[in-house]
Structure 1
Amino acid sequence: MLFNSFPFLFAFLPTAFVLHWLVERFRPSWRVGVLVLLSLVFYGYWDWRLLPLLVISIGLNWLVAELFHKSPRGALIAGAIVVNLIVLAIFKYAVFTVEALNLLPGIDLARPSIALPLGISFFTFHHIMYLTDLKAGRAPRFGFLDYAFYISFFPQVLAGPLVRWSEVMHQLGERPYLRPDAAERIGRGLMLLVIGLSKKVFVGDPLADYVNPVFAAAAAGKAITVAEAWQATLGFTFQIYFDFSGYTDMALGLALLFGIVLPQNFDTPYRATSLQDFWRRWHMTLSRFLRDYLYVAMGGNRHGLSVQLLALFATMALGGLWHGAGWTFVAWGVAHGIGLGIGVLWRRAGLPMPVLLGWALTFLFVVLTWVLFRAETFDVAVTIFKALFGFAEMGGGFKWRSIVLAAAIAMIGPTAWAFVHRLPPWRSIAIAFAVVFVIVLFKIGDDANYEFIYFQF
């Protein structure tokens, strides 16, 4: 059930909101249970056969937490984390592992046929965050329904943001519709939903038509012109931003409708003036996860420069592998690890970096490395890179309109969260958003709906 689909917008969402409002109004003690039930229905709609995996995952990890409270043994938590990672590896990396082994002489293993459950990376990382904090004495004990809510809350279960327990669990005891700002929060939630839909439908999806044909042609072994390569590369640079940030805006807006404030995930990342700054602005919740649960655990910057550089390299390589079971994703992560390491050395040397030059270098680096992220194979990436650097015919017909519009919004505009919280509560603004929503609905009805890019991770 896509957020940008009629079944979600006209069936699930209004039904869920009314049911939640009734329960919060007349049976507030049922609120968490209803949110869990709604989340399981939402998840099961995709494929009910995958629902037991989520339920069993929640149940077993909660039981581990209960056992840890009775007998606080670190090995119990460590074992549970290992099991979570093994399950993730089986579903997400089995094919990748077999294909890698088949590259060795004398090995010819059958390629397994395993469906990738939606959201498995995200809910696995939520388990890991809670269990790690529990072992460290930072996380409290939660009842089963509360824990099930934390893992399965439907706005973020499929593609984040990655939410720490400390960011949401304290909100479960609130009466969100009795707050003095309840109507305002609902209104701003609806505005975020409309903005996220608009990003996806009016900007992200049209850019797919600039990107997909070029990468498909490269995969088919066809010649790519310089113009086509830059069109596809710049197009994907903004497509993935508007696709994913649009999803995040919808997730934050939907959560507000149900009385939950989720953490923001983007802060105008293409205005970053260094690669370190970029990762503080892009997929911010994942960046914090990688920093706190991988980089710091590997030593971070506490044990000298060599350890810091190695930790950066390993963290980003693993971050690349998390995004996809493919060597191009690993290469993308490695490139960012090297880039971050160069930034550390530059700052250690006390060398200057003018702001404008820092922005230009950062943006160019991010744009070029997106090729690795988007390309399915290194052959495709090499074909695109050759054309980008002029080793191809110049070509013509560069499609620029959607790219220029996307660049202007991404570079100049504020985040959707900041934008909606600056708007005054005027009736004219509400009418304008209603009109935009109607136009979005017509667009959804006319065009094919693209799935969100991050659903594959």
Structure 2
Amino acid sequence: MLFNSFIFLCGFLPIALLVHWLVERFRPDWRLPVLLLLSLGFYSYWDWRFAPLLVASVVINWFVAEAFMRSGRDILIPLAITANLIVLAIFKYFNFFADMANLIPGLQASHWDLALPLGISFFTFHHIMYLTDLKKGKAPRYDLVRYGLYIAFFPQVLAGPLVRWSEIMHQFEERPYQRPDAEERFARGLMLLVVGLAKKVFLGDQLADYTNAIFQIAQTGGPIGVGEALQGALGFTFQVYFDFSGYTDMALGIALMFGVVLPQNFDAPYRATSLQDFWRRWHMTLSRFLRDYLYIALGGSRKGLVIQLAALTATMALGGLWHGAGWTFVVWGALHGVGLSAAVLWRKAGLTMPSILGWALTFTFFVLTLLIFRSGSFEVAAHMYKGLFGFGAEGFNIKWRALVLAAAISMIGPTSWTVIHKLPANRWVAIAFAVLFTVVLFKIGDDANYEFIYFQF
């Protein structure tokens, strides 16, 4: 079920909160098992056939961790991580690799039409983080319920944020509704949920209407002028931000209502003044994962400049592949790796750049490369680039009002987390959010409900 659906907002969430409160109040020792069952129920609603995969993933990885703790055999962890990646590759990348194999003369690899289990990329990365830290002696042993909850906790199981075990496991031991700030935390969680819904429904989904129409024309080879191409490029740039940051706000808010603080995932990325600064602000938990568990493992900055630049490019290319099984995603990631490498060389040369110029170059680079990400094929991307650079249709037609509003909110305004935690606790704020929530519900009822973009990754 979608966070922005009636069945979730008016059905699952209030029931889950009530059950959680009753258990926490009268049988606190049942709280974690019940929260795990609620999470598995939430996941099963999408497609019950995927639930056994999630359960098996949790149980098998937990048994591997147990075997490692008892035997101390280092080989168990690399084998488990490899097995996790193989499962991910089978479901998400099998046809992609089959197409690559078919480029070899004489080979004929068949396709498998497998449905992609929701959240498989995210819960696979959670396993990798824990197992890697376990092997390094950083992570302790956890029982099956706690480990299962770390992997399957429903606010973050489908699309993150990517949470390290050290950020969340200790919170499962708390009595969240016994805290002196319990009511305030619950209220601010509810406000985050409402703000995220508003960003998704009023900004992300509206921009999708403007953007999808342009890319549909590009897919059919229709004429696209500069204004239309600019509308498509900027529209998707702001759409993906409000869609994914809106989801993250909802995830953080829902988790807070259950007494768990999840890490932030966005910090005004469109105000970044360099590409490195951008990736410290955009999908922050993924950037952190790629840095700590891939870039450093590939050598990082410890083995000379050439290795550093190669590791950067490879890390970002693999990060692009993580987003989808297609060469457009790989190229998009690799371009960011090249951009980050150029920034490393720039800094090592001792060169500087005015902040406003750095911001303009960073934002322009992201918009232009995101066209490849969104297009789905190089042909469609080339068609969009032709229009954008004046080689398409004549005229300059653009729906600018939605773009200006989106730019102002994403570039000038504070983050949702900052706003929510600075708002005073009074009745007028509560009334304002109640009205906003009601309006959002009416809007959800009137319009088509778009899935979150990152659910497909």
Regarding TM over 0.5, the answer is yes
Q: Does the CA-based 8 Å contact 2:225-2:397 persist in structure 1?
A: no
Measure the CA separation in 1 of the matches of 2:100 and 2:390: 32
Q: Does the CA-based 8 Å contact 1:273-1:359 persist in structure 2?
A: yes
The yes-or-no answer on 1:262 pairing with 2:267 is no
Deviation string 1:16-73 (CA, Å, 9 cap, x unpaired) is 0000001111111111101100000000000001100000000000000000110111
Measure the CA separation in 1 of the matches of 2:51 and 2:117: 9
Measure the CA separation in 1 of the matches of 2:307 and 2:111: 37
Corresponding residue for residue 125 of structure 1: 125
Corresponding residue for residue 159 of structure 1: 159
Deviation at 1:100, TM superposition (A): 2.2
Corresponding residue for residue 62 of structure 2: 62
Corresponding residue for residue 323 of structure 1: 323
Measure the CA separation in 2 of the matches of 1:435 and 1:3: 19
Q: Which TM-score applies when normalising by structure 1?
A: 0.99
The sequence identity of aligned pairs, in percent, is 69
Corresponding residue for residue 172 of structure 1: 172
Aligned ranges for residues 358-397 of structure 1 at < 5 Å? 358-397=358-397
Deviation at 1:129, TM superposition (A): 0.2
Measure the CA separation in 2 of the matches of 1:15 and 1:395: 54
Deviation at 1:108, TM superposition (A): 3.5
Deviation at 1:141, TM superposition (A): 0.2
Q: Does the CA-based 8 Å contact 1:228-1:395 persist in structure 2?
A: no
Q: Greater shift after overlay, 299-308 or 58-67?
A: 299-308
Aligned residues: 457
The yes-or-no answer on 1:205 pairing with 2:185 is no
Measure the CA separation in 1 of the matches of 2:285 and 2:219: 33
Q: Greater shift after overlay, 12-21 or 395-404?
A: 395-404
Q: Does the CA-based 8 Å contact 2:43-2:51 persist in structure 1?
A: yes
Q: Does the CA-based 8 Å contact 1:3-1:9 persist in structure 2?
A: yes
The yes-or-no answer on 1:306 pairing with 2:309 is no
Change (3 A) 1:107 1:219: farther
Q: Does the CA-based 8 Å contact 1:268-1:414 persist in structure 2?
A: yes
Q: Which amino acid is the alignment partner of residue 285 of structure 2?
A: T
Q: Greater shift after overlay, 101-110 or 2-11?
A: 101-110
SS at match of 2:286: helix
Corresponding residue for residue 37 of structure 1: 37
Q: Which amino acid is the alignment partner of residue 72 of structure 1?
A: G
Query: RMSD of aligned C-alpha atoms?
Result: 0.8
Aligned ranges for residues 283-298 of structure 1 at < 5 Å? 283-298=283-298
Measure the CA separation in 1 of the matches of 2:288 and 2:218: 35
Q: Does the CA-based 8 Å contact 1:335-1:369 persist in structure 2?
A: yes
Corresponding residue for residue 400 of structure 2: 400
Measure the CA separation in 2 of the matches of 1:108 and 1:217: 34
The yes-or-no answer on 1:455 pairing with 2:455 is yes
Deviation at 1:389, TM superposition (A): 1.4
Corresponding residue for residue 139 of structure 1: 139
The yes-or-no answer on 1:245 pairing with 2:248 is no
Deviation at 1:390, TM superposition (A): 1.4
Deviation at 1:394, TM superposition (A): 3.4
Q: Does the CA-based 8 Å contact 1:122-1:158 persist in structure 2?
A: yes
Corresponding residue for residue 9 of structure 2: 9
SS at match of 1:157: coil
Q: Which TM-score applies when normalising by structure 2?
A: 0.99
Measure the CA separation in 2 of the matches of 1:141 and 1:202: 44
Q: Which amino acid is the alignment partner of residue 37 of structure 2?
A: L
Corresponding residue for residue 96 of structure 1: 96
Measure the CA separation in 2 of the matches of 1:341 and 1:296: 15
Q: Which amino acid is the alignment partner of residue 312 of structure 1?
A: L
Measure the CA separation in 2 of the matches of 1:354 and 1:234: 24
Deviation string 1:209-250 (CA, Å, 9 cap, x unpaired) is 111111111111222211111000000000000000000000
Q: Does the CA-based 8 Å contact 2:150-2:169 persist in structure 1?
A: yes
Q: Greater shift after overlay, 386-395 or 223-232?
A: 386-395
Q: Does the CA-based 8 Å contact 1:211-1:231 persist in structure 2?
A: yes
Measure the CA separation in 2 of the matches of 1:311 and 1:82: 20
Question: Structure 1 residue runs of 4+, over 6 Å off?
Answer: none
Measure the CA separation in 2 of the matches of 1:307 and 1:284: 24
Q: Which amino acid is the alignment partner of residue 456 of structure 1?
A: Q
The yes-or-no answer on 1:72 pairing with 2:72 is yes
Deviation at 1:106, TM superposition (A): 3.6
SS at match of 1:73: coil
Measure the CA separation in 2 of the matches of 1:161 and 1:143: 23
Q: Does the CA-based 8 Å contact 1:44-1:50 persist in structure 2?
A: yes
Deviation at 1:303, TM superposition (A): 1.1
Q: Does the CA-based 8 Å contact 1:227-1:394 persist in structure 2?
A: no
SS at match of 1:74: coil
Deviation at 1:96, TM superposition (A): 1.0
Measure the CA separation in 1 of the matches of 2:105 and 2:208: 39
Corresponding residue for residue 218 of structure 2: 218
Q: Does the CA-based 8 Å contact 1:190-1:257 persist in structure 2?
A: yes
Corresponding residue for residue 53 of structure 2: 53
Structure 2's unaligned 5+ residue stretches are none
